[in-house]
Structure formats: structure tokens, C-alpha cells
Amino acid sequence: MTPAEIIGELFAGPGAREYLGEPVTIGTHMLQAGALAEAAGAEPPLAAAALLHDIGHLRGEADNRHGPAGARWLSRWFGEAVTEPVRLHVAAKRYLCAAEPGYFGLLSAESVRTLALQGGPMTPDEQAAFEALPYARDAVAVRRWDDAAKAPAVTPPGFAHFAPLLAVLVRT
Ligand code: FE
């Protein structure tokens, strides 16, 4: 199987599960995030990161681990432009809670609940360390699409729409 086929099976199987506390399935949530990134004109690796940001959840990882675990799994096929925003998308939530007035108020109830498990808002030292990371801005972008991708009335394109995007990004 190709990487896109393997990932597609995760979307079709575990992706059809309810996303605990959210109004859309986890797969629909990820497809919405990918579609928002495309609509915003994101470069292909960043659009793929948005699409794949919760792949750790599809592989059964817990809330506080799903970013790094998902990124590690994806790194067998994809470079850092894809994996780093995935790895950092939970850190980006903690960052935005500290750095941006008003951001916390935009979070879903479930996202507020998991924030505590994930370490809460960043300290000033943590914020500075995060900002120095090469993919910090991309992680923040993924995070904003993540937060917006919980709309029950929106039907995103199916996984097949994104398969060619993933195929060109696989390292050879
Ligand atoms: Fe998400």
C-alpha cells in the first residue's frame, strides 16, 4: 500500500469515530482543516500538516501525546515541513492562550478541557522558546485551522481529494 492508502484507511476507519465532545467526526474535522488550509493558499506541506494534524488521534494516542506521536509516525514518509506543525499544534494552542488576548475565548469547551491535561497556557520562557522554533508560525497556522474545523454544517472534500497532495510530498 502507498502512504496515501495507509492514511486513507485511518480516515475511513478510526476517522469515522465521534470526536469526543466535538460536533463533527475526527476525520471530518481533519478534512475541514485541510480544506481551510487549501482555501487560504497554504503551501502543499502546510496544507498536508493541517489535514494530518490529528493523525495521532486516529492511531489511538491520548490528548497530551497525539502531536508528537503523530509527527513521529508521519516522519517515515514526510519531511519536517509536514511533521513539525503536526508535532507542535498542541504547543501552539498553549502558546496562543498565553500570547494572544482573546484566543482562549475562541476555544471549544473540549479544547479548554484538554488544555489543562496538555500543560495549560505557556509561561513567558516557554513562549520565547516556542517562537524560536523554525516551524512555530506554521504550527500556529495549523492551530487556527484546527480551531475553525469543527463546523457541523460544512461538508469538506473527501480524503481522495487530498491523496495526490500527499503522494507528491512523500520523500523518495
Ligand atoms: Fe484537531
Domains of the chain, each with CATH number or no CATH: 3-169 (1.10.3210.10)
Q: What is the pLDDT of residues 139-166, one digit of tens each?
A: 999 999 999 999 999 999 999 999 999 9
CA 1 to ligand 1 center in whole angstroms? 26
pLDDT of residue 19: 80
Nearest to 17 by CA among 71, 60, 48: 60
What is the C-alpha separation between 91 and 83, in angstroms, rounded? 14
- pTM summary value: 0.95
Give the C-alpha distances (Å, rounded to integers) separating 148 from 30, 132, 152: 11, 25, 11
pLDDT per residue over 57-69, tens digit each?
999 998 889 999 9
CB 96 within 8 A of CB 143: yes
Task: Give residue 128 CA to ligand 1 midpoint distance, Å.
Answer: 24
Q: What is the pLDDT of residue 137?
A: 98
| C-beta separation of 33 from 145 below 8 A | yes
Ligand 1 mean position, distance from CA 137 (Å): 17
Residue 102 — left, alpha, or beta (φ > 0 → left; ψ -120 to 50 → alpha)?
left
Q: How far is CA 169 from the centre of its chain?
A: 17
Which residues of the chain, if any, have pLDDT below 50? none
As a whole number of angstroms, the distance between CA 127 and CA 104 comes to: 15
- pLDDT value of residue 18: 84
- In the numeric block, which cell numbers belong to residue 17? 469515530
pLDDT at 161: 98
35 C-alpha to ligand 1 centroid (Å): 13
The torsion of the CA quartet 84, 164, 9, 66, rounded to 10 degrees, works out to 10
Q: At a CB cut-off of 8 Å and minimum separation 6, what does 144 contact?
A: none
The pLDDT of residue 89 is 97
Distance 90 CA to ligand 1 centre (A): 9
